[in-house]
Chain A
Amino acid sequence: MPLGSGVLTGLKTVLMVGRRKPSTVMYPEHVRDIGYRFRGQVGMRRDEVTGGMTCVGCGLCETACPNDVIRVDTSENADGTRFVDRYLFDVGRCVFCYFCIEACPVDALQRTHDFHLVTEDRRGLLIDGQKMIEIYENDQAYREAEQHNIGPGAAIANWFERG
């Protein structure tokens, strides 16, 4: 091989790839679609009647979680029902196994596609039920895409399905 041909090959690659559209995006200004099979953060359904968490405070998710992510503190409501004082979810410890979602008897916990776990402070990864409702509601587009197989993530999901 003539001397310097390696440099030329390299240069050629650079020139070719340099003209293509970049694979990376400028996160967080730009967010890529992900397949709707993606296992993102655990969200919480809003209760239609009370407007709060659907959670009834049974603690089953806390029990099912293998990583001690969830803490549910409850007390008694004025009407004698169970009141969820505090629902804490430590995303930093979550391995997205979704055992909690399996366990929830009232389907309060829901899977979402939210992968925005970046914070400047680890404490930001400790989220409460209200935040989980937001996460769930912001995931609406994906849920619809999943149902109708169009919209964000559909193409990627189809690509995976085709194999």
Chain B
Amino acid sequence: MSSETVTLTIDGQEVQVPRGATVLQACESIGVEIPTLCTDPRLKPYGACRMCVVEVQPGPPRPTASCTTPAGDGMTVVTDSQSIKDIRKHVIELQLQHHPLDCPYCDQAGTCELQDEVFDQEIFQSPYETVPKAHPEEILNEVILINHNRCILCGRCVRMCDEQIGVRALDFVERAVGTFIAPAQHEFMDCERCGMCIETCPVGALLSRPFKHAARSWQTEKTASTCPHCAVGCSLLVESRHGSVVRTRSNGLEEPDRGILCAKGFFGHSFVNSGERITEPLVRRNGALQPASWSEALNVISAGLREVLDAHGPQAVGVVGSPNTTNEDNYTLQRFARAVLGTNNVYSQSSGLHAAARTLRAVLGSAAGPRSQSELLESDVILVVGADIGQTHNVVGAHVKQAARDDGRTLLVATRLASGLDDFATVAARVRPGAEAVLLSALAGADIPNMHALTGIDADTLTAMRSRVQAAGTVAVVWDTGVWTLGKAEAIAQGAANLALAHDGVKLFPLPERANAAGTFLLGMAPDLLPGARPLSDDEARRQASDAWGAPVPAEPGLAFDDFIDGPMQALYVMGEDVVGGSANPQGAQAALERARLVVAQDIFMNATTEAADVVLPGATFAEKGGHFTNFEGRLGRLAPAIPPVGKARPDWEIVARVSAAMGADFGWRSHEPISTELAGLMQRPSLPGSRESAAVNGAAPAPADGFVLATEQHLYTAGVSGRRADSLTLMLPEAVAELNAGDAQRLSIAHGDRIRLSADGGEVNLKALVADRVPPGVVSLPDRFLEAAPRQLDPRAPDGAAVRVHKV
């Protein structure tokens, strides 16, 4: 007992705290407030500012920084003696020597820790002559700037970037009174732009450029919500003013983000108030989409659907849900389809995660997941395969770095491109695009002839990885299921399953490609699934759904999407998805949509699908509606409306419910809460055994003798349609770029910024070249989500790993 806790006396009050806690934490635990400037709960104690001084007995005969002093048994702590108060006041007065106190136009005012201290200590003027520093405001990169005069040199930004983000972009430069904060080499700061240095800065030194002078911190309404950009599902604090979102910040220290965000979470909100939003219903008249009232649009839809149902039956109708919208939105659409329209043609365009989850379930059964992030981070070995999760799921990537460095986890990295994870890895290797599944099988023990030629990984590295996996008690296998798994998602999942079958301690973590991809799978947004991802063939599941919905769910599964649109489709209802632009055959999909009697597209921006639609409905973004996303762990992230929907836009579930009501089936929902309750009641997870059979995977081709292998993966700064409409993110990556290794570029005499042409059997794309160290020789990397240079133009089925030729134009 006593070894676990220590007892000390603070201001005459006895307190027990766990051993290892600091004096500061002990004080906080009983509500004794100690002013601090350099402390951040996310960071390790540092002791830079000396604001937190207390008198400690027994201890040195001078004031001690409570934030760095461990609480000891029998200590007596005095926090509020006159001399302590004087010291604190003096610390502030010294800080004010350089400080401009331009609070009236400083963005930090109101949330500034220094300002609060100046107030609390009732300091109106520094007794010292004020000497502002010579440095003006300095722009560090597209989104971050620093005002050196306001910096108090607490080092929180430096430590944040190092300890939490693992990027180490900032540091102290010069020494003594001349010290200032600057990026390494004091040049343009090409970091991950997560904004966490801004977030932790206690004063208005590090500032967000998009937010600069946009609003005062106390004027904004603050709404707790969830990031819509990827499947980590970080919690956000959305700050809005006069119906616009002005900034988003990290909210709380809980899972899954543990208090940090990535560039998309911190800077990627401006799509919400983009001028390009669809703000009113559009109906096609005389071949052109024209503004219409809600009632007209609903009439056109219900009449069209009724006509198709009467003439062709429910098999001719289908609905497409979206991993960009909430569980409630997708559930409403599903209920509308299965119970009102009577069709099982229910889809979601999230191919990667659905394919991976189905394969894992078939082999390993329903025990395959999803699993929590703490299980991932507590595994002895963490194996990252394929895409760089630092780009695709940045915050998980940051946590993995920390686990490797601080908690002694063994990190094995087998990504296609070099990444920030490499520095933290025990073994880091470059796997050839297309050979990831083979590598996983090889790690599981399969004997792969010609290993080096196929995967690009030599025998020694493979042995090093294999031995670490085999020796470990628990192994987390982590991979992104994004664009790079197109056409091979099953093979990769099978490879991972092989590894899980070979080693009991293996846990699998497929990271879904979009915010709610896991949600759409668990909700059963598929022709053969029901809520809870229970098979449609399960009579009990169908009965429960029918009871809940008051209408029978047809037993016959729907068609596969491609068969449906090329076959019986007469009416299609698409919610938050670009089925044309995201298709392997956009022209074919567009033609199919044009053939159909009725296409309804509900979205926030115009895209190839809305252009082909008969009715376009304005949906709401994450900031305008309530509901939940399901993240990669299966955890629900709550959304709350921060602003009213722009124009005539409405929450997506409400639009679908209104269409349903117009067809005579009113669900009676006036807010999203009853939907959340109803769907929770249906989310029983099935218990499926799985075949538990490992299977050989193939598909890897040796490197082409001449030319390049294509690697496609989501870039850190791209996040679907919405991300391309967020100004701050487009600043970071304005256009599609093909990344090449310096050696290859030199060989082809391609310079940074040259236009190049990539061609393959499937087609070609023209774009800008970027010479990047992260790309290994013989590989050319293309980002996802740029329709003008979509990887699928090169190979519609499986672009990743395709052989491409590179030419300078």
Instruction: Give the residues from 70 to 89 in chain A that come closer than 8 angstroms, CB to CB, to chain B.
Output: 71, 74-76, 80-83
In the assembled complex, A63 has its CB within 8 A of some CB on chain B: yes
Instruction: Give the residues from 213 to 241 in chain B that come closer than 8 angstroms, CB to CB, to chain A.
Output: 213-216, 218-219
Shortest CB distance B143–A (Å): 13
A81 to B102, CA, bound (A): 11
* Residue from the list A62, A63, A83 in contact with B213, Cβ < 8 A: A83
Shortest CB distance A45–B (Å): 15
Closest to B211 in A: A76
Q: Assuming the A-B contacts A74-B213, A82-B213, A83-B213, are A57 and B105 also in contact, with contact meaning beta carbons closer than 8 angstroms in the complex?
A: yes
Flag if A60 contacts B214 (CB, 8 Å): no
In the assembled complex, B31 has its CB within 8 A of some CB on chain A: no
Flag if A56 contacts B104 (CB, 8 Å): yes
Closest to A73 in B: B242
Q: Which of B212, B213, B214, B215 has the most CB of A within 10 A?
A: B213
Residues of B contacting A80 in the complex (Cβ-Cβ under 8 angstroms): 137, 145, 212
Residues of B contacting A97 in the complex (Cβ-Cβ under 8 angstroms): none
A81 to B212, CA, bound (A): 9
Closest to B109 in A: A58
Q: Which of B103, B105, B145, B218 has the most CB of A within 10 A?
A: B105
* Residue from the list A56, A62, A76, A106 in contact with B219, Cβ < 8 A: A62
Closest to B139 in A: A80
Flag if B104 contacts A63 (CB, 8 Å): no
Flag if A75 contacts B213 (CB, 8 Å): yes
Flag if B105 contacts A81 (CB, 8 Å): yes
Closest to B136 in A: A80
Instruction: Count how many chain A residues have C-beta atoms less than 8 Å from C-beta atoms of the other chain.
Output: 17
Shortest CB distance A74–B (Å): 5
In the assembled complex, A105 has its CB within 8 A of some CB on chain B: yes
Residues of B contacting A63 in the complex (Cβ-Cβ under 8 angstroms): 216, 218-219
* Residue from the list A58, A71, A81, A83 in contact with B216, Cβ < 8 A: A58
Flag if B216 contacts A76 (CB, 8 Å): no
Shortest CB distance A53–B (Å): 13
In the assembled complex, A151 has its CB within 8 A of some CB on chain B: no
Residues of B contacting A105 in the complex (Cβ-Cβ under 8 angstroms): 104
Flag if B213 contacts A76 (CB, 8 Å): yes
A75 to B209, CA, bound (A): 11
Residues of A contacting B109 in the complex (Cβ-Cβ under 8 angstroms): 58
A75 to B210, CA, bound (A): 10
Flag if A59 contacts B216 (CB, 8 Å): yes
Q: Which of B104, B214, B219 has the most CB of A within 10 A?
A: B104
Flag if A57 contacts B213 (CB, 8 Å): yes
Q: Which of A63, A76, A80 has the most CB of B within 10 A?
A: A80
Residues of B contacting A59 in the complex (Cβ-Cβ under 8 angstroms): 215-216, 219
Flag if B104 contacts A74 (CB, 8 Å): no
Flag if B214 contacts A58 (CB, 8 Å): no
Residues of B contacting A71 in the complex (Cβ-Cβ under 8 angstroms): 242
Residues of B contacting A56 in the complex (Cβ-Cβ under 8 angstroms): 104-105
Flag if A60 contacts B219 (CB, 8 Å): no
Shortest CB distance B747–A (Å): 43
Residues of A contacting B209 in the complex (Cβ-Cβ under 8 angstroms): 76
A93 to B242, CA, bound (A): 18
Shortest CB distance A41–B (Å): 23
* Residue from the list B105, B145, B219 in contact with A82, Cβ < 8 A: B105
Closest to A104 in B: B104
Flag if A74 contacts B214 (CB, 8 Å): yes
Instruction: Give the residues from 582 to 610 in chain B that come closer than 8 angstroms, CB to CB, to chain A.
Output: none
A76 to B145, CA, bound (A): 13
A57 to B137, CA, bound (A): 19
Q: Assuming the A-B contacts A59-B219, A63-B219, A80-B137, are A106 and B104 also in contact, with contact meaning beta carbons closer than 8 angstroms in the complex?
A: yes
A55 to B524, CA, bound (A): 57
Flag if B213 contacts A58 (CB, 8 Å): no
Instruction: Give the residues from 22 to 77 in chain A that come closer than 8 angstroms, CB to CB, to chain B.
Output: 56-60, 62-63, 71, 74-76
A80 to B213, CA, bound (A): 9
Shortest CB distance B215–A (Å): 8
Q: Which of A63, A76, A83, A105 has the most CB of B within 10 A?
A: A76
Flag if A75 contacts B218 (CB, 8 Å): no
Shortest CB distance B420–A (Å): 31
Instruction: Give the residues from 105 to 132 in chain A that come closer than 8 angstroms, CB to CB, to chain B.
Output: 105-106
Residues of A contacting B218 in the complex (Cβ-Cβ under 8 angstroms): 63
Closest to B104 in A: A58
Flag if A58 contacts B219 (CB, 8 Å): no
Q: Assuming the A-B contacts A59-B219, A62-B219, A80-B137, are A75 and B105 also in contact, with contact meaning beta carbons closer than 8 angstroms in the complex?
A: no
Residues of A contacting B242 in the complex (Cβ-Cβ under 8 angstroms): 71
Shortest CB distance A132–B (Å): 18
Instruction: Give the residues from 195 to 220 in chain B that come closer than 8 angstroms, CB to CB, to chain A.
Output: 209, 212-216, 218-219
Instruction: Give the residues from 423 to 463 in chain B that come closer than 8 angstroms, CB to CB, to chain A.
Output: none
Residues of A contacting B137 in the complex (Cβ-Cβ under 8 angstroms): 80
Residues of B contacting A83 in the complex (Cβ-Cβ under 8 angstroms): 213
Contact with A along B103-136 (1 / 0, CB 8 A): 1110001000000000000000000000000000
Shortest CB distance B558–A (Å): 51
A56 to B216, CA, bound (A): 12
Shortest CB distance B96–A (Å): 17
Residues of A contacting B216 in the complex (Cβ-Cβ under 8 angstroms): 58-59, 63
Q: Assuming the A-B contacts A63-B219, A80-B137, are A75 and B104 also in contact, with contact meaning beta carbons closer than 8 angstroms in the complex?
A: no
Shortest CB distance A97–B (Å): 20
Residues of A contacting B104 in the complex (Cβ-Cβ under 8 angstroms): 56, 58, 60, 105-106
Flag if B219 contacts A75 (CB, 8 Å): no
A153 to B594, CA, bound (A): 78
A62 to B216, CA, bound (A): 10
Closest to B241 in A: A73
Contact with A along B65-108 (1 / 0, CB 8 A): 00000000000000000000000000000000000000111000
Closest to A84 in B: B213
A62 to B104, CA, bound (A): 13
Closest to B219 in A: A59
A6 to B213, CA, bound (A): 73
Q: Which of A57, A59, A62, A74 has the most CB of B within 10 A?
A: A59
Residues of A contacting B105 in the complex (Cβ-Cβ under 8 angstroms): 56-58, 81-82
A114 to B219, CA, bound (A): 30
A80 to B209, CA, bound (A): 10
A151 to B145, CA, bound (A): 53
A7 to B109, CA, bound (A): 72
A157 to B90, CA, bound (A): 48
Shortest CB distance A148–B (Å): 32
Residues of A contacting B214 in the complex (Cβ-Cβ under 8 angstroms): 74-75
* 14 pairs of residues in contact across A and B, judged by CB atoms under 8 Å: A56-B105, A58-B103, A58-B105, A58-B109, A58-B216, A59-B215, A59-B219, A62-B219, A63-B219, A76-B212, A76-B213, A82-B213, A83-B213, A105-B104
- 10 extra interchain contacts, Cβ-Cβ under 8 A, other than A74-B215, A80-B137? A56-B105, A57-B213, A58-B109, A58-B216, A59-B219, A62-B219, A75-B214, A76-B212, A82-B105, A105-B104
A residues sitting closer than 8 Å to B (CB atoms) are 56-60, 62-63, 71, 74-76, 80-83, 105-106
B residues sitting closer than 8 Å to A (CB atoms) are 103-105, 109, 137, 145, 209, 212-216, 218-219, 242
Cβ-closest 6 pairs across A and B: A58-B104, A59-B216, A82-B213, A82-B105, A105-B104, A76-B212
